Amino acid sequence: MENTIKTVNLKKLYATEEVETTALDEINIEIKKGEFVAIMGPSGCGKSTLLNIIGLLDNPESGEYFFLGEEVANYSERKRSQLRKGNIGFVFQSFNLIDELTVYENVELPLLYLKTPSDERKRRVEEVLSRMHIMHRRDHFPQQLSGGQQQRVAIARAIVAKPAVILADEPTGNLDSANGEEVMRLLEELNNEGTTIVMVTHSPHDANYAHRIINLFDGKVVTENIREQFHV
Amino acid sequence: MYKNYFKIALRGFAKHRLTFFINLFGLALGLWAAILIGLWVRSELNMNREFAEIDQVYRIMEHQRYGSDIFTTTSTPGLLANALKEEYPEVERAATYSWNEKNLFVKDEKRLNLNGFYAGEDYLSIFQYPIMHGDRDRALSDKSYIVLTSTAAERIFGHSHVLGETITMKETEGEHSFIVQAVLEPLAHDLDNQFDYILPYQFMFDKPYNSWLHDWGNNGPSTVVKLNKESDYQVFSSNIQSFIKERNEGSNIVLFAYPHQDLYLFGRFADGMQQGGRIEYVKLFSIIGLFVLIIACINFMNLSTAKSQKRAKEVGVRKVVGAEKGALIGQFLSESLMVTVFAGMFALVLVQLTLPIFNNLTDKTMRIPYDEGVFWMQFICVLLFTGLLAGSYPAFYLSATKVVSVFRSTAKSGSAVVWARKGLVTFQFILATILIVGTVVVYQQINYALKQNLGYDKDQLVLIQLEGKLMENFEMFKNALSNHFEVNAISRSNHSMMGRNSSSGNISWEGKDPDFTALFEIMRVDYDYIETMGFELIKGTDFSRDKGADSIQGALINRRAYELITQDHPEAVSFNVLGDEREIIGVVENFHFQSFHQLMEPVILLLDPSYANHAFVKVNAVDMQNTMSSLQSTAESLNPDFPFQYSFMDENYARMYRDDVRTSELAKYFSILTILISCLGLLGLSSHIAEQKTKEIGIRKVLGASTFSILNVINKEFILIVVISIIIGSGLSYWLMQSWLSNFAYRVDFAWWFIPMAAVAILIIAYMTVTLQAYKSTQINPASTLKIE
């Protein structure tokens, strides 16, 4: 199966005036199309940094990064942004919805930047809102929704442009267990339909939904477990 | 996409109401000031330029040399216009015209004092006033004709179809009837000469007492020419240089042509060179307008970047879902443009409401030209400039926010942006300091001028216009008034004491250096003049009826004239003025008859009241209303045909400073506005700083800090900035004000206390503004703030 994501000797440093910290060190991972991968590790181990690079939000210091077969490690912000558009959907722990926009408008946003025609936009937004069972809340503002509903809106926004990859950063971190469960089932469902999912999580329970778990420690990959093996 | 920007902006405004209103109000105030100043500048720049072919119209002016000084004037001989037209083929048209004066006109029962002047036949072809009725070329061709404005015609006749109608002018020497030969459309507001009538110059020229107009040695009226299209005015100007010298031997006059349309703005000459004029005010206020607008934009930038932490999340999310930098810049710029458009509309309403007051202040009749496309274009350009300037920094700063910061819980403002924000506040307060110190200095100087010892006592001194029987029977009038206890003294003169009136360089004395010339002001006065005016006699005696012949053949001079006459010949007792030998019977202390911009000039007082048209009456101030009404009834009983016209000398004197007083008034209002806008910015900024420091304040409170000490935490962020601004602003204002003061021949010193006074005022205002806002944050329960953190 072809690789959606492949990194070779990926390295990321954070430097302040006094100290230089190695956030990622010699990261070599491959994620295949249609895979569901969880990245785990203690706080500060570099999970989010890795997700940022995978999500084309940041560049590595050195090493190679292939996204959909393209070497993108040294892409400019502009090129990364173009590639990101429509190819990657993000789901965050804190939902990151725009407070001033309604549910409908938040979900519509990626399509606006993709310059999707308005009829098409309407159809697709309504489709994902229905799918996420949030259609009746379309004209509400994020603050008027429960955490679970907000995360469903965020997932709707992440998938509305039909991206190849969804990157989820602690997607259940701010949710109670029932809502968390629902979000995980939605991600699983999307994965079953063929979307590649990379999820950062602290929760072994959530990680159980993944095919594979990559464990990071101090910026290095320490173990990679196939889920079946994990359960054994 | 723009719909989305619009929506999010509107909802953002609704959510952050304080910031929005500070931005809106601040920008609106800035735009309001800019539009008012813009209208004024526009009106000044258009002044006298709206005539057809005005670029071919030139004033003929004179440089007169006196020793090392060159005096430049628009006064010319009364024969000049026709002579130029005859001599130079490039002169298409030429006209002489007089100064404006008020005359009494009578039509049936109606009696009106109208303001107008005398002008040569070509005048209306040179200045192409739109004509409602009549013929431009013939209107001033006969001395029995008169030209009226339609406004004047309506006042006299009740309508403007008055061609061929007759109207009578009453003068001291008799009545004259004139036939209305043309009616002008109402005068445009951008003409500095607003008049009711024009009479033919020939009528003035032929009056017996105006024989001086027939002499090349005398100056008085103005001369204007229209050159043909092909001619070069500079060549013409150099050709006419010695035109008067050729006709009047020994003349010190160099003639030159000057574009008429430039005279209003570039009318000041020094040492024979053009040196500014009203254009300096135009520049000054343009700069003030721009400053106020920039200060308002700075508020916008500061507040937008201060709330950038709140916007960073939105920027991050937008970038994550696919927004490119350009789209984000577009979003923030369209947001600032939107606020600017709201502010612009608000500002237009403010302008509309305050224009009458501003017109009053500037002595203009401006209106918002809603019907002119050019105005809207300019308005839109100003809005674009403001919106883009205000939005530029936030747009570029915010759109550059690293998207990874979305994943972190807090994003701190980088040191660059903090410095930029501090720099902007510093800039604002530097401007505010300059405006405050400037206003104080201007106010001091104007006050100094108005309250100075002028060498005469202008208080309770009434100037009465002598016309008709009042002029003929002045002695009777004087006797009648002498019986009133309210009248202390009365005399008359041909000189109004308001600027130069009649001067001559044709003064000589024994032992005088033949190369030395000086311009002496000549005042023809009556007995009791010294007492009435309150001059100080420092030598000799006053004119006296007891020594009638001596007085008539003698002269009083001022100290300056005495110094000049005795410089070569300390024992001088007489001098020659205009061909007559005069004995110096007394010397008075110097006095001002011009504004403080000029030095005190040498003056000769001659006892010759035959042409005196100004009576000066010194009254006591016990009951001014009663005094004035008894002056009026006495004047009207002796002179029933003419209305009683008077003015107070202190007010006349203040009028000489009209431009300066206006500058000081306007500067005062604009500096208040600047402070207000700057403080609005400070208010917004301090609320953001207080918000950012919520945790710090909470911790300090838990540790036992008092409200006052917490207020100081927030205040210290600003006080240093304000102090630095004051230091820089003071230095700059010292330099600027010294140069402004150098325009005055007599001026206040730049006193050191201006600066600490302004500094303390600004500091108190800044401290109070910040405290007002910060106090709220000190009252929050620390338990709640620390929990949030």
Q: Is B67 left (phi over 0), alpha (psi -120 to 50) or beta?
A: left
The residue-averaged pLDDT of B676-692 equals 75
pLDDT at A1: 60
- Residue A232: pLDDT band by 50, 70, 90 thresholds? very low
Helix (H), strand (E) at residue A51: helix A47-54
CB contact under 8 A, B11 and A85: no
- Residues A219-224, mean pLDDT to the nearest whole number: 84
Using the predicted structure, report yes or no on whether residue B789 has a pLDDT greater than 60.
no
Whether residue A100 and residue B406 make contact (CB cut-off 8 A), yes or no, is no
Average pLDDT, chain A: 87
Contact B24, B346 (CB under 8 A): yes
Residue B680 has pLDDT above 70, yes or no: yes
B299: three-class secondary structure by DSSP: helix
**Type of residue at B347:** A
Q: Tens digit of pLDDT for each residue in B51-79?
A: 999 999 999 999 988 777 788 999 999 99
Q: How many angstroms from the chain centroid is the CA of residue A160?
A: 14
Q: Given this model, what pLDDT does residue A123 score?
A: 95
Token pair in block for residue B650: 């202190």
Number of domains in chain A: 1
pLDDT for B416 equals 67
- Percent share of chain B, pLDDT over 70: 96
Highest mean pLDDT among B481-485, B530-534, B567-571: B530-534
Chain B contact for A120, CB < 8 A? no
| Per-position DSSP letters for B428-455, written without gaps between them | HHHHHHHHHHHHHHHHHHHHHHHHS--S
The pLDDT value recorded for residue B244 is 93
- Give the CATH number for residue A182: 3.40.50.300
Q: Map out the domains of chain B as residue ranges.
A: 1-47+265-413, 54-240, 424-448+658-789, 461-656
Averaged pLDDT for residues B590-610? 86
pLDDT for A231: 34
Q: Which of B313, B323, B404 sits opposite A58 (nearest CB)?
A: B404
| pLDDT surpasses 90 at B149 | yes
Separation of alpha carbons B445 and B125, rounded Å: 44
Interface contact A110, partner B, CB < 8 A: yes
Residue B19's pLDDT band, with cuts at 50, 70 and 90, is confident
Minimal CA separation from A102 to chain B, in Å: 10
Rounded distance between C-alpha atoms, residue B175 and residue A127, angstroms = 97
Query: What average pLDDT does range B103-123 have in this prediction?
Result: 92
Work out the pLDDT band at A230, boundaries 50, 70, 90.
Answer: very low
Higher pLDDT, B153 or B323: B153
Residue B17, chain A, CB below 8 Å: the answer is: no
Supply B155's token pair.
Answer: 């006042």
- Antiparallel, parallel or unpaired: β B507-508 and B574-577: antiparallel
Q: Which domain holds residue A204?
A: 3-231
Q: List the structure tokens of B371.
A: 């019907």
* Strand bridging mode A36-40 / A196-200: parallel
CA distance B425 to B300: 11
Angle at B246 between CA B240 and CA B247, to 5 degrees: 110
Structure tokens belonging to residue B491: 């005399």
Structure confidence by residue, pLDDT tens digits, B173-185: 788 999 999 999 9
Of the residues B1, B407, B412, the best mutation for testing chain A's interface (the one with the most A CB atoms within 10 Å of its CB) is B407
Contacts of B628 (CB under 8 A, 6+ apart): B462, B646
User: What is the predicted pLDDT for the residue at B407?
Assistant: 52
Specify the DSSP class assigned to residue B114. E
What is the share, in percent, of chain A residues with pLDDT greater than 70?
97
Q: What is the pLDDT of residue B404?
A: 67
The Cα of A81 is separated from the nearest Cα of chain B by a number of Å equal to 6
Q: What is the percent of chain A where pLDDT is above 90? A: 40
Q: Is the pLDDT of residue B771 over 50?
A: yes
ipTM value greater than 0.85: no
CB contact under 8 A, A100 and B318: no
Contacts of B146 (CB under 8 A, 6+ apart): B167, B178, B179, B180, B181, B197, B198, B199
pLDDT, average across residues B509-524: 83
Average pLDDT over residues B640-658: 84
The burial class, CB within 10 Å (0-12 / 13-18 / 19+), for B789 is exposed
Lookup result for tokens 């006109």: B105
Contact B61, B233 (CB under 8 A): no
pLDDT given at position B120: 96
Question: What pLDDT, on the 0 to 100 scale, is given for residue B308?
Answer: 67
**What's the rounded Cα separation, in Å, for the pair B163 and B182?**
6
Distance of CA B114 to the CA centre of its chain: 25
Mean pLDDT of chain B: 85
Neighbours of B213 (CB within 10 A): 20
Predicted local confidence at residue B788, as pLDDT: 44
pLDDT tier, B511 (very low <50, low <70, confident <90, very high otherwise): confident
Q: Is the pLDDT of residue B698 over 80?
A: no
B13, closest residue in chain A (CA to CA)? A100
Q: Do A113 and B4 touch (CB under 8 A)?
A: no
Give the pLDDT band (50/70/90) at residue B399: confident
Substitution target in B314, B320, B402 with the highest count of A β-carbons within 10 Å is B320
